[in-house]
Structures are given as C-alpha cells and as structure tokens.
Homo-oligomer: A and B are copies of this chain.
C-alpha cells in the first residue's frame, strides 16, 4: 500500500493521522478532485472510476469528508443556532418553548440542518461563545435589549438571524403572535362576564428579576418594559389599554420566573391584597374590595400556579375567582378542569422561523410573520361573583 504520507515531520496533534480524501485518491490512482466527485456522487465520473474510489475509501476506512473542511469551503455548515436567554432547565420547563423548538428542529431537520443550543446564561461571556461557534443561522427567542446587541456581530459574519416573538424593527425577520388582540379578547371575555377588578400576572421582565407588584405607568417600570422582551411588553401594555377601554381596574404582578411556583407566589400577592410582601403569619388579610375577581396570567404555567393559590385559599374557581392563561398547553389538570386560555401555535412558530431561516439563507429578505391565536373558553372562567 503506497498510502504512507511523506514524513514531513509537520504538525501532529494526535497520535494517528486520520485518513483523508487525498489518501483515498492516491490509493485509487486518481486526483483529489475526481475522488471528491466520486465520493459526493456529483459530477460526471466514469462508473469504473467511481467504483475504484469507493472501494479504496472503504478499504482505507475513510469516514467521509471532514465536515469542517467541507463547510469552510462551501460556506455552509448545516447548523442553526438557537439563542436562549435562560439555562436549559428553565427554557425546557416552558411548554411553549418546547413546542417551538420541536417545530423548529423538525423543519430545520427537513432542510438537512441541526440545532445548536446556545444558552446565554453560561459562565463565560455569551458574545464570545456565540462568535466562536460554527453556524449558518441563528434563531433568537424573545430576546431582550442586551441580546439584540449581539445581532450586528452575527450579521457581520454572514450569519442569518431570525427572531421569535421579537425583536421587531431590528432589521431581522421576526415571527410573532397577535399578542395585543389575544389580550384584548381575554379582557373582553371576562368583562362580558361582569368582572370589574382584574389582576394580571406578567411574565418576568428580565432574566434576573425578583418579581413583585408592577405599575406600568411608572417610568421605571416603563423603562424595564422597554428593555425586556417583546412578549411581556405587548401583553402588558395591551392589558392596560383593554382595562381602560372596559373601564375596569387592573393590578399587575410580575412573576420572577415562568414557573408554577412563581405563578402561585404572584397570585398570592394579588389575592392577599396590596400590603407588605411578607404578611404576618396567621394573620389573614381582609382583602375585601381590593381582591380581583379575575386573574389573567401571561402563561398557562403561571395560571396553574394561580389555580393552586386559589385552592390553598379556599377560593372556588370559577365561582369566586376566574383564572385565564395564555398558551393553550395541555397541562394535565386531573379533575376535569380546563383552563380558559389563548391557544397559540407553538410548533408552527418554530416551523415558521425555520422557513424564514431557509428563505434568508437562499438570499431572500423575508417579511415578518404574525401568527394568529384563538381564545379557548374553559371551565376556569365564569360570571363575576354576585352576578
């Protein structure tokens, strides 16, 4: 076998050199270019030659073209990054995110690419990690102001960037929902049922928030809303507007995380009245008029926590308290309860993002896509008490 590489004494990182396409070509007695064509099945190659190359590859144990070299040459590597604000366990605890990722992975996979997960909460700087990773495109999910700043650097590298749920107007195509219309529909539904005191549990405005009461009119809060992700902002501002239009009162509480427990905690703040955060133990608050009769949570996960808080306090749903969510997830409620919620096409959101990526990669400049949601009335909303 004349497959010995010349003993150049060059760089050798590993003990054993991998067998390369050049080795195969040499063994088959053809040029590297022909070997490449044969292995890739592209281009005109005589059947006999092809067979010779293939058998040489087999007998040498050639493991196919080196992905890095091929990608470098081709300018495409078949990787689509997903930029997540949180660590994986939190991202995956959100059924909407999971649905989105599933749709994204499916559609991206059909196009022959795979998903690279890039959580921005790692120990090292997020920007460096993102810049050093091979990728054709990046999908940023619901990103805040800090993440938006990473987009130009990606564009400079020629990476296609697509947004999910935001950021609108940042020069990247975005797929999002009609959050305003959905929020409006929820208020209309509950106002029609006679509710006049509303509570809203918002999604966390930032990654490191501790949650708590929120006054959208407050300048500091407006600032935080502006810097946060788009979903929270749109749903919260739409809620304020809808409440004003219906002439009903509304109080906002921010959840520290999109988790059931945090939904419960936020609901407690609403249900136990506008008093100091830590009530004295054994001292139930006569919430009276201040207690909302309808609570809208900005996610089903939070709504679930809200249901739990109601149960703990002996409040019947929907007789004493109406609860609505947002997402339309099947959350395995055991007792036949079905949550009133906004159904959003989570998986379709991912699919659409993948299509935007594909379009942008093929040189087009796709437009934003807005998906529509639907109000699904369940058993957790009913007429306001005393009506």
Q: In the complex, which residues of chain B have a beta carbon less than 8 angstroms from the beta carbon of A134? A: 67-68, 71, 77, 79, 134
**In the docked arrangement, what's the CA distance between A157 and B70, Å?**
14
Which residues A81-95 have CB closer than 8 A to chain B?
Answer: 87-89, 92-93
Asked if A247 is an interface residue, CB under 8 A from chain B, the answer is no
**In the docked arrangement, what's the CA distance between A252 and B78, Å?**
43
Query: Judging by beta carbons under 8 Å apart, are B98 and A67 in contact?
Result: no
Which residues A148-192 have CB closer than 8 A to chain B?
Answer: 153, 156-158
Q: In the complex, which residues of chain B have a beta carbon less than 8 angstroms from the beta carbon of A87? A: 102, 105-106
Asked if A112 is an interface residue, CB under 8 A from chain B, the answer is yes
Query: Judging by beta carbons under 8 Å apart, are B98 and A123 in contact?
Result: no
Partner pick for A260 among B18, B115, B131, B332, CB 8 A cutoff = B332
Q: In the complex, which residues of chain B have a beta carbon less than 8 angstroms from the beta carbon of A117? A: 105, 114-117
Asked if A304 is an interface residue, CB under 8 A from chain B, the answer is yes
Q: Which residue of B lies closest to A84 (CB)?
A: B105
Q: How far is the CB of A27 from chain B (nearest CB, A)?
A: 16
Partner pick for A93 among B18, B98, B109, CB 8 A cutoff = B98
Partner pick for A157 among B64, B102, B124, CB 8 A cutoff = B64
Asked if A8 is an interface residue, CB under 8 A from chain B, the answer is no
Asked if A218 is an interface residue, CB under 8 A from chain B, the answer is no
* Mask: chain A, 114-146; 1 = CB below 8 Å from B; 0 = not: 111111001110000101111100000000000
